Amino acid sequence: MSPTARNRAWMGVLLAVVVVMGVGLARADSSPPTLSERAQALKETTLCPVCDGQTVVESNVPAAASIRALIDERVAAGDTDAQVREVVENTFPGQALSAIPPGDGFGGLVWVLPIVALAVGAAALVLAFRRWSSVADRRATEADRVLVAEARASR
């Protein structure tokens, strides 16, 4: 396979992946979340003030149960997600209860490092495929054929 044909094949694969991802995103449910879905999402991203590293969904301590009830009440009352988070944080002052890492400073690395790792991995794969394809394009020369013929004849 020539390098041009190989590049076209890879471009076809890339195009297919992009099309499949686009169709998947287009078919994704874009309806607004229900109240129970909003409350569940808030509970899954709110840390328990008593437990170490558990969300209020995972914990069974009374403080987590009260936060779950508070979230349900505030969502049913029509508060926005930001307002619900503010009420929960005011209920337990001085404690970081958000399980979502910040988007700036050192916490921003949590968002950036996976993207950087994917980009480095993709670049490494591209370089490896190019190196492998350049090795595969090498053809035996007439001098190589003479050497092989002499080695066979000397057996």
**Rounded to an integer, what distance in angstroms lies between the CA atom of residue 11 and that of residue 8?**
5
Alpha carbons within 13 angstroms on the beta-carbon side of residue 91 total 19
Domain extent for 53 = 35-91
Name the phi and psi angles at 98, rounded to 5: -85, 130
What was the pLDDT predicted at 27? 67
Whether the predicted pLDDT of 77 surpasses 90: yes
Residue 85 has pLDDT above 60, yes or no: yes
Q: Where are the beta strands (DSSP E) in the chain?
A: none
Whether 59 and 82 map to the same domain: the answer is yes
In a shared domain, residues 20 and 66: no
The predicted model scores a pTM of: 0.53
Q: For residue range 86-120, what is the model confidence (pLDDT) as tens digits?
A: 998 888 887 778 777 777 777 777 778 899 999 99
Q: What is the pLDDT of residues 21-70, one digit of tens each?
A: 877 776 666 677 888 899 999 999 898 888 888 899 998 899 899 999 99
User: Are 19 and 53 members of one domain?
Assistant: no
Residue 83 and residue 105 in one domain: no
Residues contacting residue 97 through CB under 8 Å, at least 6 positions apart: 46, 47, 49, 67, 85, 88, 89
Q: Are 81 and 89 in contact (CB under 8 A)?
A: no
How many residues are given for the chain?
155
Note whether residue 96 is domain-resident: no
pLDDT value, residue 29:
61
pLDDT tens digits for range 135-152: 655 778 899 899 999 999
Question: In angstroms, rounded to a whole number, what is the distance separating the alpha carbons of residues 11 and 5?
Answer: 10
**pLDDT of the residue at 30:** 67
